[in-house]
Amino acid sequence: MSAPANSVKRPILSIGNAITGIIFLIGFWLTYLRFTGGLAAVTNLDHNNPWGIWIGFDLLCGVALAAGGYTTAAAVEIFGMKKYHAALRPAILTGFLGYSMVVLALIYDVGRPWRLPYPFFVSQGVTSVMFEVGACVLLYLTVLFLEFSPIALEWLGAKRLRRVIVRLTLLLTILGVVLSTLHQSSLGALFLIAPSKLHPLWYSPYLPIFFFVSSIAAGLSMVIFEGTLAHRNFADKMDQHHKQAADGIVIGFGKAASMVLAAYFTIKVFGVALDNNWHLLATSYGLWFLVEILGFILIPCLLFAIGVREHNLRLIRWTAFVTVIGIVVNRLNIVWLCFNWRLPWDERYLPHWMEIAISIFVITVGLTIYRLIVTRMPVFYEHPEFRETH
């Protein structure tokens, strides 16, 4: 259970911990209200707007931004890019916690958590896209747990069990990529049922492809963004190998993100062309669409490329942040701003402050567990007893 020698003891009484404590208190109180009073007690959801920010932000953005797990695992374990190995464990951990928080948010939205296994064991809706999403998330969360488990097992010193799971790494990685391909695209496919509700510039028969391709860009950018924050806050938990590999990871992932964004921009334009929606670009929604595809896709694509050419790490890191914001904007556009766009504004959905507070609570739970893990387990450093086996 040894951490790097320069490990800093963090005080328990700090401003950050006090804010976390307040968020937890409010979160527990709102949880009580949600599960005793129902959705109406804490949300502005109604029959016109059954999906709010718990689905739009926590679930759709959470799943997209947790894609760093499968993209990094595929790069390192399947494509053999071992120079990115230092990014693997943080990416797997972020993916595992991201998906765990997605399920937590889903429990708030769906309610009656004891019935969560029903779609699989009691009433299977095998023809539903939602069933496929649920099944994939369940299976992928299990895969992520197994991928994460060597970290915990090294910490616990369970050498034999760790050895068994490490032998399954390639199989787990392939399973993870397959399951992610399925459910990242299926989240887009959920909206294929509502062509009349989603604005034509965002609706496309190719929505599943848009969601899948954008998730790769989101995952790559999230690895860069998360790495930047980790280097700022947990540098004392990192070994020399991790610190030395960081710049190469930023350049490599920035390059990959640039190419993926170029492809994403192109298929988004293809989407407009296929439905002959050019005339809609001159409307207010069209201008917002242009902001999304130019400001959050094309410009980040070019900035990544310039950053890679010039080895400008700062530019790449900022661009990764903009790309992450762009993916959030895209998902919120689809589930919220451009959904039910024909309804008058007074019938449109605006999240209740308690919905936002519960979202903040869910994110804070994720961040707190992340912090607890990285300050204790070998995420940013190699455990001395297992150094040769990675």
Partner 1 sequence: MGEGIHTLQEFMLRTKGILYLLAVSYLLGFLWFWRFLNGGRKKED
Is residue 82 close enough to count as binding partner 1 by CB under 8 A?
A: no
Binding test (CB under 8 A) with partner 1, winner from 22, 164, 274, 291? 274
Separation of alpha carbons 30 and 35, rounded Å: 9
143, 137 in Cβ contact below 8 A? no
Nearest distance from C-beta of residue 100 to partner 1, angstroms = 36
Is residue 258 close enough to count as binding partner 1 by CB under 8 A?
A: yes
Print the binding letters for residues 277-306 with partner 1: x by CB under 8 A, - otherwise.
Answer: --x-------------------------x-
301, 329 in Cβ contact below 8 A? no
User: Which CB, 70 or 202, lies closer to partner 1?
Assistant: 202
User: Which CB, 139 or 259, lies closer to partner 1?
Assistant: 259
Using a 10 angstrom Cβ sphere, with 0-12 exposed, 13-18 middle and 19 or more buried, the burial of residue 280 is: middle
- The CA-atom distances, in angstroms, between 220 and each of 52, 58, 114, 305 are 27, 19, 35, 14
Lookup: tokens for 314: 């700062």
Binding test (CB under 8 A) with partner 1, winner from 231, 241, 255, 390? 255
The interaxial angle of helices 88-110 and 129-156, nearest 10 deg, is 130
- Give me the residue label for tokens 């930023």: 250
Nearest distance from C-beta of residue 194 to partner 1, angstroms = 21
Is residue 201 close enough to count as binding partner 1 by CB under 8 A?
A: no
Separation of alpha carbons 214 and 260, rounded Å: 8
Largest CA distance in the chain: 63
191, 207 in Cβ contact below 8 A? yes
Separation of alpha carbons 239 and 110, rounded Å: 42
Binding test (CB under 8 A) with partner 1, winner from 309, 372, 384, 385? 309
Nearest distance from C-beta of residue 206 to partner 1, angstroms = 12
Nearest distance from C-beta of residue 76 to partner 1, angstroms = 20
Is residue 308 close enough to count as binding partner 1 by CB under 8 A?
A: yes
The interaxial angle of helices 353-374 and 15-37, nearest 10 deg, is 130
Binding test (CB under 8 A) with partner 1, winner from 28, 32, 270, 353? 270
- Site size with partner 1, rule: CB under 8 A: 17
Is residue 269 close enough to count as binding partner 1 by CB under 8 A?
A: yes
Nearest distance from C-beta of residue 78 to partner 1, angstroms = 22
Is residue 266 close enough to count as binding partner 1 by CB under 8 A?
A: yes
59, 389 in Cβ contact below 8 A? no
Stretch touching partner 1 by CB under 8 A, among 59-67, 96-104, 140-148, 255-263? 255-263
- Give me the residue label for tokens 């567990």: 369
Stretch touching partner 1 by CB under 8 A, among 84-92, 160-168, 261-269, 357-365? 261-269
Is residue 259 close enough to count as binding partner 1 by CB under 8 A?
A: yes
Identify the sign of the CA torsion 121, 176, 323, 379.
Answer: positive
166, 150 in Cβ contact below 8 A? yes
User: Which CB, 189 or 308, lies closer to partner 1?
Assistant: 308
Is residue 61 close enough to count as binding partner 1 by CB under 8 A?
A: no
User: Which CB, 53 or 209, lies closer to partner 1?
Assistant: 209
Q: Residue numbers of the site for partner 1 (CB under 8 A)?
A: 255, 258-259, 262, 266, 269-270, 273-276, 279, 305, 308-311
